[in-house]
Amino acid sequence: MSTPGMVLNLAKKEAFSTAQNAADWFIKKGIEFYIEKEAASYLGQQKRGATYQQLREKADYIIVFGGDGTFLHTSHHFIGSGVPLLGINIGQLGFLTDIETEELEKALHMVNQKKYKIEHRMMIKAEHFRNGEKIEKNYALNDYVVNRSPDSRMVKIKLHINDELVNRFRSDGLIISTPTGSTAYSLSAGGPIINPRQVRAILITPICPHNLHMRPMVISGNEKICIEIEGDSGSIFGTVDGHDNSELMSGDKIYIEAADREISIIKLPDRTFYTILKEKMNLA
């Protein structure tokens, strides 16, 4: 019998009541489970508390109670572990946390009966270089974003693909996205939607470019990108999955490519990518 672990968004009250319902279900079924240590204290389940490292070692899968932001934050603790994540939506759209709270018991039953599929989602690796020295490396499930502060000038960027200069432009920033991230920030900036279950690609989406010829691009997952920051535009930052801001300076280079690590996600068989797309965006 599989052993679940649970991770909660501590800022959302509904996450606690929904997680308590899941805990009650597991206890009723005689299923051993663990809860992220801090959340376990709030739920009065200290004996079942576990650190993220312990969850990686002891849990067969992780249930995330929150929105897509919670899912992204949690996913970084399980990169390359093979431990799959199941998202319960306590947020807004919920493309990653696509199971609604009223579907919780059905989802738990299906997972317990092993009636699900595991998707292995592509990630990207971003390496930040300054003066020829690598100063940071990050992995992103959704996107790596170059953006500026509101009081800064437009960012000057040189974009290389496979060591070839493709464009030189000014903009408010640039989004490098995975197919999973194509329904996130990139979509808001005018990027296309890519089915992450079928397509392995990297999406390049400029943010308000001051260049009529700079438009979103979809390139192969085997290609390599280099973003070079030019000029002194003020406060510029590189952001990974909406977290982990790092300051960028003139001359900095960010090399981005498909990572050699993946995130595993549990998907129920009655949910296709297009089913979720229609539900979340009120299409058709």
Domains, the chain, in order of start with CATH, read 4-116+268-281 (3.40.50.10330), 123-261 (2.60.200.30)
pLDDT tens-digit series, residues 181-192: 999 999 999 999
In this prediction, residue 284 carries a pLDDT of 61
Read off the pLDDT of residues 63-85 as tens digits, 9 standing for 90 and up. Answer: 999 999 999 999 999 999 999 99
pLDDT of residue 93: 75
User: Which tens digit of pLDDT belongs to each residue from 197-219?
Assistant: 999 999 999 999 998 888 999 99
Is 68 assigned a catalytic role? yes
Residue 49: the pLDDT is 97
Quickly state the pLDDT bin for 20 (edges 50, 70, 90): very high
The DSSP-derived string for the chain is ---EEEEE-TT-HHHHHHHHHHHHHHHHHT---EEEHHHHHHTT-GGGEE-HHHHHHH-SEEEEEE-HHHHHHHHTTSTTT---EEEEE-SSS-SSS-EEGGGHHHHHHHHHTT--EEEEEEEEEEEEEETTEEEEEEEESSEEEEEE-TTSPPEEEEEEETTEEEEEEEESEEEEE-SGGGGTHHHHTTPPP--TTT--EEEEEEES-S-TT---EEEETT--EEEEEES--S-EEEEETTEEEEEE-TT-EEEEEEEEEEEEEEE-TT--HHHHHHHHHT--
pLDDT tens for each residue of 22-79:
999 999 999 999 999 999 999 999 999 999 999 999 999 999 999 999 999 999 999 9
Task: Give the pLDDT confidence score for residue 89 in this predicted structure.
Answer: 95
Which of the residues 68, 143, 241, 252 is marked catalytic?
A: 68
Residue 263 has a pLDDT of: 97
